[in-house]
């Protein structure tokens, strides 16, 4: 089958985006291939189409569980068989899914680099007919890359297991040294390298200096109506800004990692189908989102790196129409950025302390603990040992990223249930406990393997299906446990920790000390690059981004906040004329003038100052401007 036929059959497109066809042909020619395509450039198609054309299964390595699930669900919706080995799978489930990959004509197996280290996984992959190895978010393999993950360096084990299978590495953000690292670490032979330009000529990049972000946000959304994303730093801000926008009459919703999967799906659907104009989100939102008509992306807080900013801003204007990306900046933001991301970077010594306390907290003996799972109350842990919460959380992320532990954050209670009696005994029991019939039937119909192993149960789903109050469902479950019908584990914590290595204290942490220090240096460089970007009001913002990624820009964009601004001592005469015209009717505040005159806040203030100096206008006691 020809690649274009596959594209039409499964994606309903009749032509490829730039570079896609060349990359697909290189992969089909068994070439090791590197593809750098900007966000929205259609990277996944570059390995999915070759895998569908060839016999066998494609192994996809990805660091992001949410992205794996999203791609698997998308493939399944197209009738393509795909599996993701996410965290939380029981040994039996893992065993079954790997067997399906060998015998069930599956086309895609998604897994994390850490999952690849398991002996069971390696043994089964050796038995599979692999047609392609795809490494997504490939910048994670480089110590100079954003979100470096040491486990990525072990992906070469796939190449050793299947030496005749070619590999494709894909990323949206990588500097020259990162590209070199990727090619070297994946042991590419005569690789075909494809690099699309980072230029997005239809996006106007803007930095807006303001002391009133909420006012500026309202102004921008009224000035540039259309589908919008507002990125904020934390979950509380998503709800606060959503409530503010709703009070102003905007059609808004919000999204963060703490809402349920059902809420995520509903809110994404509302926004992506135009039922809500604006979505206020943390950076948990966006991976795998391909809404073409986003008009505006606004960063309410400074981004933590230009890599992440480029990806997030790049979710605007994928239909190639003019779009706008704004960063709102207050004078205190630079210090806040340094404080949030640099002052909370833990030293190697502190990481060792957290690891030691974690082992003691769960009474893990020296030389033991490997693959043990523990319910984890983060705040209780920090309180018990009087640890700084921010530095402790960052330490846990370092331990997770370096495959010492796995930290699963659920943000909602988790329940595990297994029926420990036979079918016959169960139905005999229900004859004398009629009030439990509905709950038991819901459990049996919703969770197929609940007789065979501990099954993670979504309590909210059970409550909804049983149409029974939460307190009563919990009471009934406890009654079933007491009567030895089920085994019941009800988690009262929001996290789970799995130790991936036996406890060896300093010996466990010392091998990653160099990596920790290196990543701290990189984080400092990234923060300073962001600050330099927002402070540089003389170089075209598009050019600044291109230079950062090692691309030499040919010309200015003409549409960013730098290109459209004027020198401080030369405010635009057109703005002055518009101000004088607007003030003929009534005195107006600077905010009212900003709504009427399409210019930047900075240019407006410059024009007002010039007109006051020329005594053409004056400022009243009510802080309005009027003709002199």
Kindly write down the DSSP assignment for every residue of 349-394, as one continuous string.
HHHHHHHHHHHHHTTPPTT--TT-EEEE-HHHHHHHHT--HHHHHH
Same-domain pairing of 317 and 371: no
Same-domain pairing of 118 and 184: yes
Tokens of 486: 């089920």
What CA–CA distances, in Å, run from 456 to 99, 488, 569? 22, 10, 66
Instruction: Report yes or no on 518 lying in a domain.
Output: no
Quote the pLDDT of residue 568: 43
Same-domain pairing of 22 and 124: yes
pLDDT over 90 (residue 452): no
pLDDT above 90 as % of the chain: 55
* pTM for the predicted model, two decimal places: 0.73
pLDDT over 50 (residue 411): no
The predicted-structure confidence for 143-154, as pLDDT tens digits, reads as follows 787 678 888 888
When pLDDT is averaged across residues 157-179 and rounded to a whole number, the result is 91
Cα(279)–Cα(267) distance, rounded to whole angstroms?
Answer: 8
Alpha helices of 224-280 — where are they, by DSSP H? 235-247, 261-272
When pLDDT is averaged across residues 197-211 and rounded to a whole number, the result is 92
Instruction: Report yes or no on 511 lying in a domain.
Output: no
Same-domain pairing of 17 and 162: yes
Spatial neighbors of 508 by CB under 8 A, at least 6 apart, are: 355, 404, 501
Q: Which long-range contacts (C-beta less than 8 Å, at least 24 apart) are formed by 88-97?
A: 88/408, 88/456, 90/453, 90/454, 91/120, 92/449, 92/452, 92/453, 93/449, 93/453, 94/120, 94/121, 95/120
When pLDDT is averaged across residues 453-481 and rounded to a whole number, the result is 86
Instruction: Report yes or no on 546 lying in a domain.
Output: yes
Instruction: Report yes or no on 516 lying in a domain.
Output: no
453 band by pLDDT with thresholds 50, 70 and 90: confident
The predicted-structure confidence for 354-381, as pLDDT tens digits, reads as follows 999 999 999 999 999 988 988 888 888 9
Instruction: Report yes or no on 21 lying in a domain.
Output: yes
Cα(404)–Cα(498) distance, rounded to whole angstroms?
Answer: 9
Q: Which helix (H) or strand (E) holds 423?
A: helix 423-431
Instruction: Report yes or no on 514 lying in a domain.
Output: no
Same-domain pairing of 122 and 252: no
Domain final residue pick, 144, 171, 195 = 195
Same-domain pairing of 90 and 114: yes
Residue scoring higher pLDDT (551 or 65): 551
Same-domain pairing of 368 and 447: no
Same-domain pairing of 83 and 173: yes
Alpha helices of 1-118 — where are they, by DSSP H? 3-6, 20-28, 43-53, 65-77, 91-103
pLDDT over 80 (residue 566): no
Same-domain pairing of 374 and 444: no
List the CATH number of the domain containing 594.
Answer: 1.10.10.10
The predicted-structure confidence for 568-609, as pLDDT tens digits, reads as follows 444 555 678 888 888 988 888 887 887 777 666 667 777 887
**Domain range for 364:** 340-411+495-504
Same-domain pairing of 480 and 576: no
pLDDT over 80 (residue 39): no
Quote the pLDDT of residue 471: 81
pLDDT over 90 (residue 86): no
Same-domain pairing of 25 and 64: yes
320 band by pLDDT with thresholds 50, 70 and 90: confident
Quote the pLDDT of residue 495: 78
Same-domain pairing of 391 and 479: no
Please tell me the total count of domains within the chain: 5
Residue 199 near residue 314 (C-beta atoms within 8 A)? no
What strands, in cross-sheet order, belong to the sheet with 486-490?
455-457, 415-419, 486-490
The predicted-structure confidence for 228-274, as pLDDT tens digits, reads as follows 999 999 888 999 999 999 999 999 999 987 787 778 889 988 999 99
| DSSP 8-state symbol, 347 | P
Domain final residue pick, 441, 468, 490 = 490
Instruction: Report yes or no on 273 lying in a domain.
Output: yes
Cα(333)–Cα(208) distance, rounded to whole angstroms?
Answer: 12
Cα(333)–Cα(362) distance, rounded to whole angstroms?
Answer: 39
List the CATH number of the domain containing 174.
Answer: 3.40.50.300
Nearest to 61 by CA among 6, 123, 121, 20: 121
Quote the pLDDT of residue 313: 94
Instruction: Report yes or no on 515 lying in a domain.
Output: no
What's the whole-number average pLDDT of the chain? 89
Domain final residue pick, 144, 175, 195 = 195
């Amino acid at each position: 089958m020809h690649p274009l036929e596959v594209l039409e059959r499964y994606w309903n497109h009749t032509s490829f985006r730039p570079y896609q066809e060349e990359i697909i042909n290189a992969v089909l020619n068994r070439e090791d291939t590197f593809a750098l395509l900007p966000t929205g450039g259609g990277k996944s198609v570059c390995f999915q189409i070759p895998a569908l054309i060839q016999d066998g299964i494609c192994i996809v390595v990805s660091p992001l569980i949410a992205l794996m699930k999203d791609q698997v669900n998308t493939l399944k919706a197209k009738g393509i068989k795909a599996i993701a080995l996410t965290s939380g799978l029981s040994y039996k489930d893992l065993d079954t899914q790997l067997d399906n990959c060998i015998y069930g004509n599956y086309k895609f197996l998604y897994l994390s680099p850490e999952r690849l280290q398991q002996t069971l996984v390696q043994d089964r992959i050796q038995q599979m007919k692999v047609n392609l190895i795809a490494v997504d978010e490939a910048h994670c393999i480089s110590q100079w890359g954003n979100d470096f993950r040491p486990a990525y360096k072990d992906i070469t084990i796939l190449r050793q297991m299947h030496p005749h299978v070619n590999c494709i590495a894909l990323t949206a953000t990588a500097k020259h040294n990162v590209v070199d690292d990727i090619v070297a670490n994946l042991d590419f032979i005569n690789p075909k390298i494809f690099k699309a330009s980072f230029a997005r000529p239809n996006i106007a990049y803007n930095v807006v200096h303001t002391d009133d972000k909420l006012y500026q946000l309202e102004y921008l959304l009224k000035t540039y109506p259309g589908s919008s994303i507002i990125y904020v730093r934390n979950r509380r801000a998503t709800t606060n800004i959503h409530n503010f926008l709703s009070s102003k009459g905007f059609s808004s919703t919000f999204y963060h990692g703490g809402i349920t999967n059902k809420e995520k799906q509903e809110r994404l659907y509302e926004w992506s189908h135009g039922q809500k104009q604006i979505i206020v989100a943390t950076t948990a939102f966006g991976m795998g989102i391909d809404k073409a008509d986003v008009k505006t992306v606004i960063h309410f807080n400074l981004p933590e790196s230009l890599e992440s900013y480029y990806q997030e801003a790049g979710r605007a204007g994928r239909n190639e129409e003019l779009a706008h990306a704004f960063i709102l900046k207050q004078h205190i933001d630079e210090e806040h950025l340094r404080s949030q991301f640099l002052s909370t970077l833990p030293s190697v010594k502190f990481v060792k302390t957290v690891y030691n306390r974690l082992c003691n907290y769960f009474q893990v003996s020296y030389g033991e603990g490997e693959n043990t799972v523990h319910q984890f109350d983060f705040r209780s842990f920090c309180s018990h040992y009087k640890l700084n919460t921010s530095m402790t959380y960052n330490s846990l992320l370092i331990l997770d990223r370096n495959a010492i532990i796995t930290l699963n954050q659920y943000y909602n209670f988790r329940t595990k249930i297994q029926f420990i009696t036979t079918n016959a005994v169960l139905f005999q029991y229900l004859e004398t406990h009629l009030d439990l019939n509905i709950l038991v039937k819901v459990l049996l119909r919703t969770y197929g393997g609940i007789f065979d192993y501990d099954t993670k149960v979504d309590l909210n789903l059970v409550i909804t299906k049983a149409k029974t109050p939460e307190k009563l469902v919990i009471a009934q479950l406890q009654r079933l446990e007491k009567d030895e019908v089920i085994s019941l584990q009800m988690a009262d914590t929001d996290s789970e920790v799995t130790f991936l290595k036996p406890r060896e204290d300093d010996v466990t942490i010392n091998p990653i000390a160099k990596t920790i220090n290196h990543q701290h240096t990189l984080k400092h460089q990234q923060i300073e690059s962001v600050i330099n970007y927002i402070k540089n009001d003389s170089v075209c913002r598009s050019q600044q981004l291109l230079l950062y990624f090692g691309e030499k820009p040919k010309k200015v964009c003409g549409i960013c906040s730098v290109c459209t601004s004027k020198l401080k001592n030369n405010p635009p005469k057109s703005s002055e004329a518009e101000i004088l015209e607007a003030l003929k009717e009534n005195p107006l505040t600077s905010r009212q003038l900003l709504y009427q005159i399409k210019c930047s806040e900075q240019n407006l203030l410059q024009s007002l100052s010039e007109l006051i100096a020329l005594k053409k206008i004056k400022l009243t006691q009510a802080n309005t401007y009027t003709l002199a």
